[in-house]
Amino acid sequence: MRTIEWQDGTVVTVDQTKLPLETVTLKIRTVDAMAEAIKNLRVRGAPLLGACAAFGLALAACNSRASCVSEMLAELEDAAAILKSTRPTAVNLFWAADRVMDKARDFFGDVEGLKALVFGEAQKIADEDAEANRVMGENGAALINDCDVVLTHCNAGELATVEYGTALGVIRAAWKQGKKIRVIATETRPLLQGARLTAYELKRDGIPVTLITDNMVGYVMSKGLVDKVVVGADRIVQDGVANKIGTFTVAVLAHEHGVPFYVAAPKSTFDLTRKSTDIIIEQRKPEEVTHYGGKQVAAEVEVLNPAFDVTPLKYVSAIIHENGVYYPQDFAKFKSNSPV
């Protein structure tokens, strides 16, 4: 099932803030509405944000009343700037916006031709993500044994991508191969992507899942209850992997307990011209930490709310992608940008 689709000039998706209690269809018709949906996590997850940026530009093109290509190109530049100002950490958003804009800037033809080009590139980005996830799933499933218990953090599932998922794609593929695996999902404070979205997706697919709070990871690993960890990524740089806050803690605990720690991410998540110190970690509003279900639960104190952390590559056992699997011996090449 596709998480995002283009239907007659409208982007159709699901409002992820309402899941799992309500399935509310979200119809996005303008660039500003797309930016609002991204900022407020109605749509989220690195690969899906790439598709959202691309379809956001398609909305700008579709809604344009420009009478010439240079006027429309200026509108697209403004739209790209709006979309790129929404969330800073997942590189897919920037990668997709730049990919569409590079094509648009090189275009020769009329306004209708430019509209078709922008929409066509957006659709291609979405289709490629769906395909990459299926192939990645197969590549990663080879690392999962029958009866493994796999821990995952946040939601790197169908909802975080155009289709199928990255980390959950690996889990889905292993399950489809007949491996009787079980999943431990962390709730993922403060916005509960694990409890709300990962648990929902796995339950819907009939894959056994046990939910834990984030601070139980050390306990379950110390009891030998976890065989593998598979997570997604928001940006893979020369020396580390940015992913949902708490991933670093899971990785260190996995290292301590000898549990393989795998990252599953498509090439659109790789940003090998940068290092971890270059990554902008999104800081979100304090209310996400101090409030629960709309009610204040914390004392009124200063709050820190980084949405992501960076796991150094020394804690990563392998990175699964659509063209294969990188192991620690390959990571050295990341600095020269050669394998991607």
The residue number with the shortest CB distance to ligand MRU is 232
Please enumerate in sequence order all residues whose Cβ is within 8 A of that of 263, keeping only pairs 6 or more positions apart, or say none.
167, 230, 231, 232, 233, 236, 241, 243, 311, 316, 318, 319, 320
Element (H, E) at 26: strand 25-28
Q: Pick the closest to residue 185 from 210, 221, 219, 149 (CA basis).
A: 210
Q: How far is the CB of 230 from ligand MRU (least distance, A)?
A: 11
Please, which residues bridge with residue 228 across strands? Answer: 150
Decide: is 156 part of the binding site for ligand MRU (CB under 6 A).
Answer: yes
Q: Pick the closest to residue 308 from 215, 241, 213, 238 (CA basis).
A: 241
Of 6, 13, 42, 45, the one binding ligand MRU (CB under 6 A) is: 45
Q: How far is the CB of 131 from ligand MRU (least distance, A)?
A: 15
Q: Is 106 a catalytic residue?
A: no
Q: Please, which of residues 222-281 interact with ligand MRU by CB under 6 A? A: 232-234, 243-244
Query: Is 16 or 64 the residue whose CB approaches ligand MRU more closely?
Result: 16
Of 44, 115, 196, 235, the one binding ligand MRU (CB under 6 A) is: 44
Query: Is 94 or 119 the residue whose CB approaches ligand MRU more closely?
Result: 94
Query: Is 118 or 266 the residue whose CB approaches ligand MRU more closely?
Result: 266
Q: Please, which of residues 162-181 interact with ligand MRU by CB under 6 A? A: 166
Distance CA 240, CA 225 (A): 26
Question: Mind giving me the DSSP string for 202-218?
Answer: HHHHT--EEEE-GGGHH
Query: Is 161 or 276 the residue whose CB approaches ligand MRU more closely?
Result: 161
Out of 129, 148, 214, 234, the active site residue is: 234
Decide: is 13 part of the binding site for ligand MRU (CB under 6 A).
Answer: no
Decide: is 46 part of the binding site for ligand MRU (CB under 6 A).
Answer: yes
Distances (CA, A) of 73 to 55, 59, 214, 237: 16, 13, 46, 31
Binding residues with ligand MRU: total (CB under 6 A): 18
Decide: is 47 part of the binding site for ligand MRU (CB under 6 A).
Answer: yes
Taking contact as CB under 6 A, which single stretch among the options 56-64, 154-162, 295-303, 329-337 is the one that binds ligand MRU?
A: 154-162
User: What interhelical angle do 69-84 and 111-141 show, nearest 10?
Assistant: 40
Burial of 216 (0-12, 13-18, 19+ CB in 10 A): middle
Decide: is 26 part of the binding site for ligand MRU (CB under 6 A).
Answer: no
Query: Is 13 or 193 the residue whose CB approaches ligand MRU more closely?
Result: 193
Distance CA 278, CA 253 (A): 25
Give me the count of residues in the chain: 340
Q: Which residues bind ligand MRU (CB under 6 A)?
A: 41, 44-47, 90, 154, 156, 160-161, 166, 193, 232-234, 243-244, 307
Which residues carry out catalysis?
Answer: 234
